[in-house]
Amino acid sequence: MLDQATGDSICALAARLRRRECSSRELTAAYLARIEHHDAALNSFITVTPEAALAAAEAADQQLACGAGGPLTGIPIAHKDIFCTQGVRTSCASRMLDNFIAPYDATVVSRLHQAGAISLGKTNMDEFAMGSSNETSWYGPVTNPWDSTRVPGGSSGGSAAAVAAGLCMAATATDTGGSIRQPAAFCGVTGLKPTYGRCSRWGMIAFASSLDQAGVIARSAADAALILQAMAGFDRQDSTSADEPVPDYSAELETSLQGLRIGLPREFMSAELDSDIAASVEDAIGLLRTLGAEVREISLPNSALAVPAYYVVAPAECSSNLARYDGVRFGHRCTDPVDLEDLYRRSRGEGFGAEVKRRIMIGTYVLSAGYYDAYYLKAQQIRRLIKQDFQHALSEVDVILGPTAPTTAFALGDKSADPVAMYLNDIYTISANLAGLPGLSLPIAPVQGLPVGLQLIGNYFAEARLLNVAHQLQQHSDWHLARPSAFA
């Protein structure tokens, strides 16, 4: 039954559930069995919640038996362990929160729950979402389902790997500088980072508040559309949530790409880009042209400064957001502190890993007296210039296109000793976060057996357009249907 299920779209599977050809309980149990069987090697889950999942599946079955329920009722998904889940450990992949049982659900979690989705558990990630390889997790790295010697990308590496390996139908994820799109690219799945403010940040543990955005990793654009539909929308508990209507994301999937204007930033296709990846992107462009899209070269002149500006803004916000982890009210506390200072320094020193500490220190430094203008204000100015570049480009084209990452998945340990090399892996994704624009990564022609991601960036709240373009590509190609053989 499940072999068939793993090939199904959410839409097709939901139809089978409604027709009672299979039950959510069977489906959920089958996914739990897959996790049991495969995840020891993959390490994509930090916490699996079988009892709660099966109970929720039974409740979904009762609903379905009465002909009730929506498009996600009974569909097994997973949540990145950055989203608070009531009564379930929410660790953010940090020793600091290894013992933290969230007393509430994140808005995104409760919305998906209300839509009937079944949560199988919490996926692994880089600690506090800081990393591009999933190697900073306190619970150990996730491996790439396509090649177990390679990283799955990060920070949402667990979500991407679990979806790619067929351990869940889809997973929530977050993206502060590429943390949805880059692992989606490395694992050969579809990842969507919505417009900043599209999904509520309530209950989503903060890394950098003005950049963080919740999104989804799924097997296809059509599946992602269904998940986003449930997640998106205004939340009065989040001051930065956008009070904008949520369109029907599935309704526009079939819209023709005839006359679609696509911009290819010359800065994204520079000489530094791996030539094989460039060729994959060219292939996808060729397909888009045959579907009626016009592709033209554009320029995002300040995009080279996105990574430098990001590594001021994100650490600055992180240094303050992570000050609450002090060993007093929750989380890790050192043993026998001699005084208050000792309590703080050792609890935090022990609770945080090296990458988190580096970012806290950089952030503390750039905000400290005498440095604020030179670093923080300067970065915010560049942020405006980057936004203006995009606004200018998006007045001429509908969608911006390019590679998601400059390389395919790299080997475990390859970059973990060199923070700057790691940071530069997000060179194409970071600018969309600085501008707050939606971005999507979908798999295109692989290179040496490893997935390659194509990134689409759209205008504010144009998620439906990105999903439409990705869906049309997926309707006319089979790149997204490839499955890693070890997880067949």
- Contacts with other proteins in 374-393 (CB under 8 A)? 375-385, 387
User: Of these residues, 23, 24, 44, 80, which one is catalytic?
Assistant: 80
Contact 465, 478 (CB under 8 A): no
Instruction: Out of 70, 247, 308, 446, point to the residue binding other proteins (CB under 8 A).
Output: 308
**From edge to edge, which strands make up the β-sheet containing 118-123?**
45-48, 118-123, 76-80, 170-175, 213-218, 190-193, 439-447, 450-458, 399-403, 261-265, 294-298
Q: Can residue 307 be called a binding residue for other proteins (CB under 8 A)?
A: yes
List, in sequence order, every residue forming a beta bridge with 294; answer none if it has no partner: 261
Instruction: Out of 113, 122, 193, 201, point to the residue binding other proteins (CB under 8 A).
Output: 201
Read off the amino acid at residue 392: H
| Nearest residue (CB) to other proteins, 337 versus 446 | 337
User: Of these residues, 24, 119, 179, 200, which one is catalytic?
Assistant: 179
Q: How far is CA 52 from CA 62, 101, 123, 360, in A?
A: 15, 15, 16, 36
| Nearest residue (CB) to other proteins, 66 versus 417 | 417
Q: Can residue 324 be called a binding residue for other proteins (CB under 8 A)?
A: yes
Q: Can residue 463 be called a binding residue for other proteins (CB under 8 A)?
A: no
Instruction: Out of 196, 410, 428, 487, point to the residue binding other proteins (CB under 8 A).
Output: 196
Contact 177, 439 (CB under 8 A): no
What residues from 93 to 122 belong to the interface with other proteins (CB under 8 A)?
97, 99-104, 106
Smallest gap, in angstroms, from Cβ of residue 45 to other proteins? Answer: 20
Residue whose C-alpha is closest to residue 172's, from 104, 224, 103, 248:
224
User: Of these residues, 91, 132, 155, 220, which one is catalytic?
Assistant: 155
80 tagged catalytic: yes
CA dist., res. 79 & res. 95, Å (int): 19
Smallest gap, in angstroms, from Cβ of residue 199 to other proteins? Answer: 13
CA dist., res. 209 & res. 445, Å (int): 35
Token output for 218: 């799924």
- Quickly tell me which residue has 């506390």 as its tokens: 333
Q: How many other CB atoms are found less than 10 A from the CB of residue 320?
A: 16
Question: Binding mask 432-461 vs other proteins (x if CB under 8 A, - otherwise)?
Answer: --xxxx----------------------x-
Contact 124, 134 (CB under 8 A): yes
122 tagged catalytic: no
Question: Binding mask 240-279 vs other proteins (x if CB under 8 A, - otherwise)?
Answer: x-xx------------------------------------
Read off the amino acid at residue 455: Q
What residues from 348 to 377 belong to the interface with other proteins (CB under 8 A)?
348-350, 352, 357-358, 360-362, 364-369, 372, 375-377
Smallest gap, in angstroms, from Cβ of residue 11 to other proteins? Answer: 31
List, in sequence order, every residue forming a beta bridge with 295; answer none if it has no partner: 262
179 tagged catalytic: yes
The whole-angstrom distance between residue 299's C-alpha and the CA centroid of its chain comes to 26
State whether residue 275 is helix, strand or coil.
helix
Q: Can residue 37 be called a binding residue for other proteins (CB under 8 A)?
A: no
Q: Can residue 329 be called a binding residue for other proteins (CB under 8 A)?
A: yes
# binding residues, other proteins (CB under 8 A): 98
Contact 312, 372 (CB under 8 A): no
Residues with catalytic annotation?
80, 155, 179
